[in-house]
Amino acid sequence: MKLYLLTDKHSKDSILNSISLAQNKVTSENEVNYILDMDFNHIGFVNYLLIIENDCEDYLQIASAGVKSDLFGQIVICDKKTTAESFINQINKAPILCTVDFKMGSAMDVFEDIKPLYLKIKLKYPDTVVIGYTNLEDPSRAEIGDQPRKLIELFRLNRDSVYDKFEMSDVTLSNIFRDKLDISNLYRQVNELKKKVENLIGTGEIIGKSNAIQKILSTISQIAKTEARVFITGENGTGKELVAKAIHKGSKRCTQPFISVNCAAIPEDLIESELFGHEKGAFTGAIISRIGKIELANNGTLFLDEIGDMSLKAQAKVLRVLENGILERVGGIDSITVDVRVIAATNKNISEEITKGNFREDLFYRLNVILINIPPLRERTDDIPMLVDYLLEDMCNKNKYPLKIFSKSAITALQALRWEGNIRELKNFIERIVILTPEVEITEKDIYALLPRDNSKLDDILNGFNSFNDFKDKMEKAFIKKQLEANNWNINKTAKALFIQIRQLQSYISKYNLVEIQESGTALTQYKINDNECSESERFLDKIESILIDHFKDDAEVTQYMIATKFISPKRGNNKIARGTFNKEWMKHRLLVEQLFNDNPGKWPTIRTKCPFIKKIIFSKEK
C-alpha cells in the first residue's frame, strides 16, 4: 500500500519529518511518498482513503488505523484546506472514504470555513461517505459556541457522521472505517441498480437537432429549476411525457417522486378516487383506504397526461389543490396538505374545449404558466436520422441482433412518410424492420416492403374524424348501439354483455341520445322494460312508499340510509347488512325507476316529496 502526503515546497521539511515518523508508525513495509506543488495527475488513485488534516500526529494516527484495517489500496493526506480543494478539483476518481478534521477551519468560524469544503466533496463524490471529527469538550475551543454543532447537523443531514477525536484509538478508527465502507458500498450498489433500471426502461432522452427541439431543450433548461407549472401540447406520440420527465429530472424535486396519470385511460367515475384517494367504505368495493396519485407525488412532480379528458368535477378539485395545496380523499373529512409541482399535457385544442364548456378556463390559466408545444414528427424530419440511429441501436441490443445500418436512400424514404403516430409509430416500425430484415444494411426497398398495405379503407374511415375525441365518441356510440340491438334493446342484458353497471350504460344512452327506430321511422323509448322487470321494480317502489308512510310520516325528508334501516325488517337490525341489501336492490331497479315514474305520474306521491335521492333522478323529466 502507498501513502501520499500532498503539500507544497514551503512545507517540504515538515513533511519529510512526517514521512520519517510515518515509516515508524505506519510500518516500514508501506511505501511513503510526498508530492510537491500538486503534481499528482500522473498517479492512478484507486480504492484510496482521503485524509484532510493539518496536524501531523492526528493524520498519522488515522493513516495508521487505515493501514491496519487493510481496507484501502492507497492513503492520501492533504495537510491544508487549499491542498484538499485543489486535489478534489483535479481528481475525478472518488475516494472510498474521506475524513475531515474541523480544525481545518478557523477557530471562530469553523462552520463557514469547513462547509464549502464539505459540500465540494459531496458534489464531486456523492457516493463517498465523509467522517468528520472534532472535540466539543476541548477548552481551547469553548469560545466557538454553536459553530461545530451546526457543522455536525450539516453532516447528519447528508447521512454522514462526526466523532470525538479524543476518544478514538486505532481499533476504534478501524471499526468506524469498516462500518462506513459498508454504507458506502450500499450507496454504490443502489446507484448501479438505478442505472440498470434506467437502461431497462430508457432514460427518457430527448433526441433531435431541429430548431424546434433545440428551442424546447432550451426552455426546459430555463424552467426546470423553477416551481412554475407547465402545460405541454402536441399530438399523440410526440413525447409529451419525455418532456415532463426531463423537467422533473432537472428540477430541485428530482430526488422525489414523478407520478404520471393518464386521465384518458381512467373511467370518469374512478378519476377522483385515482387522483385524490379514498377512505375505507367511501363506496362499494372500497374495503381499504387508498392514497391518491396527488398525495403520492407530495414534494415531487405530478404529470397529468391528457388532462383535456378529465371530468369537470375532477377539474374543480384539481383547481383547489393548485390554489391552496389542500385535498380531501373521497369519503374523507380531513384536509390533507400537499406540495406538488403540476405538469399537464393534452393532444386537444384546449381553446376549443373551453369554448365548448368541456374544460374550465380558470384551471387552464392556473396550469398555463409555461406553454411548450411539441411539433409532430412530419414537421421536423431533420430529427429522423438521429432518432433512427438511437432506436436502431436500442432495438438491436434489446433483441440481441448485430447492429444494423440504414442506407441514405432508406433514411430519405423514412423522411418522406407522414408518421401520423409520430415517434411512437417510428419506433414500432424500426422494431419491425430490425426483426424482419435479415441483411445488415436496410435499404429503401426494405422500407417500402414492410410498410402496411391496403390501408385505403382505413384511411377513408380515419379521415372522417376531426380529433381523437371525435373518433372515440363515434366509435363508442356505434359499439354500444350495436350491443343494444343485439340484446333487443334490453338494458339489463346489454349491461351484462358489456361488463358494465346499468347506470353507466344509462349514461352512455343519454350521452349519445340512443333510441330504437321502428320500421316506420318513429322512435321508440330509449330502452325496453320487460313485464317481469317492470313488476319487480313496481313492487320495490311500493315497499318504499309503505316504509315512508309507516315509519317516516312526520319527516320532511328521508335519506337512502334511513329507508335502508327499515328495508329488511321494521325492527332495527344490523344496519350494515340492511344498507347493503337496500343498495343492491336500488342499483338493480334504479334505471327502471326513472321510466316508471315518468310513465305513472300519479303513483308513489310520498316518495316524490320525501326522497331527495329519487327526486334527483326524475327531476329533469318532471320539470
Distance separating alpha carbons of residues 605 and 356, to the nearest angstrom: 39
Asked if residue 240 belongs to a domain, the reply is yes
What pLDDT does residue 359 have? 92
Identify whether 206 is part of a domain. no
Q: Are residues 119 and 217 in the same domain?
A: no
Over residues 446-464, mean pLDDT: 63
pLDDT of residue 145: 56
Same domain as 536, residue 515? no
pLDDT of residue 572: 47
- CATH number, domain with residue 14: 3.40.50.2300
Say if 205 falls within a structural domain. no
Judged against a pLDDT cut of 70, whether residue 35 lies above it is answered with no
Q: What angle in degrees, to the nearest 10, is found between the helix axes of 110-124 and 147-157? A: 20
Choose the final residue of a domain: 166, 195, 224.
Answer: 195
Q: Which of 336, 358, 375 is the last residue of a domain?
A: 375
Is 167 contained in some domain? yes
The pLDDT of 285-291, averaged and rounded, is 82
DSSP state of 538: H
- Tell me which residue range forms the domain holding 400: 381-453
Domain boundary among 375, 409, 435: 375
203: helix, coil or strand?
coil
Range scoring the smallest mean pLDDT among 79-88, 389-398, 499-508: 499-508
Residues 94 and 243 in one domain: no
**pLDDT of res. 202:** 40
Distances (CA, A) of 299 to 175, 251, 414, 514: 37, 12, 43, 46
Joined together, the cell numbers standing for residue 211 give 430548431
**pLDDT of amino acid 32:** 54
Specify the pLDDT at position 616. 67
Instruction: Give the model's confidence band at 224: pLDDT under 50 very low, under 70 low, under 90 confident, else very high.
Output: very high
Question: Average pLDDT, stretch 379-395?
Answer: 90
In a domain, 297, yes or no: yes
What is the predicted pLDDT for the residue at 518? 37
Structure confidence at residue 79 (pLDDT): 79
pLDDT at 105 over 90: no
How many whole angstroms separate alpha carbon 19 and alpha carbon 30?
11
Same domain flag for 11 and 124: yes
| 5-9, 381-385, 459-463: least confidently modelled range | 459-463
Same domain, 241 and 310: yes
CATH number at residue 389: 1.10.8.60
Q: Is 204 inside a domain boundary?
A: no
Both 516 and 542 in one domain: the answer is no
- The pTM of this model reads 0.46
Choice between 275 and 286, residue whose per-residue pLDDT is larger: 275
Q: What is the pLDDT of residue 384?
A: 93
CB atoms within 10 A of CB 114: 27
Residues 491 and 567 reside in one and the same domain? no
- Indicate if the pLDDT at residue 262 is higher than 80: yes
Asked if residue 49 is part of any domain, the answer here is yes
- pLDDT score of 527: 47
Q: What is the pLDDT of residues 177-200, one digit of tens each?
A: 888 888 877 877 777 776 655 544
Is the predicted pLDDT of residue 485 greater than 90, yes or no?
A: no
Q: In what order do the strands lie in the sheet with 2-7?
A: 31-36, 2-7, 74-78, 48-52, 97-101, 129-134, 161-164
Residue 603 pLDDT > 90: no
Structure confidence at residue 366 as a pLDDT band (50, 70, 90): very high
**Residue 388 clears pLDDT 50, i.e. is over it:** yes
Regarding whether 396 and 256 lie in a shared domain, the answer is: no
Local confidence band at 171 (pLDDT 50, 70, 90 cut-offs): confident
pLDDT of residue 525: 43
Quote the mean pLDDT of the chain. 79
- Asked whether residue 371 falls in the same domain as residue 406, the answer is no
Q: Is the domain of 60 the same as that of 111?
A: yes
Residue 536 pLDDT class (50, 70, 90 cuts) = confident
Residue 28 confidence (pLDDT) above 50: no
Could you give the percent of the chain with pLDDT greater than 70?
A: 79
**For residue 245, pLDDT beyond 90:** yes
Residue 260 has pLDDT above 90, yes or no: yes
Q: Is the pLDDT of residue 534 over 80?
A: no
Question: 11-25, 45-59, 203-217: which has the minimum mean pLDDT?
Answer: 11-25
Percent of the chain whose pLDDT exceeds 90? 20
Closest CA to 296 of 275, 323, 266: 275
- Same domain for 48 and 165? yes
Residue 276 within any structural domain of the chain: yes
Length of the chain: 623
By mean pLDDT, which of 361-370, 410-419, 589-598 is the weakest?
589-598
CA separation, residue 2 to residues 30, 46, 63, 209, 213 (Å): 6, 11, 11, 49, 51
What does the pLDDT average to over 477-485?
Answer: 84
- Span of 194-208, 297-311, 432-446, 537-551 with lowest mean pLDDT: 194-208
Type of residue found at 578? A
| Judgement on whether residues 334 and 389 belong to the same structural domain of the protein | no
Query: Which of the 8 DSSP states describes residue 144?
Result: G
Number of compact structural domains in the chain: 5
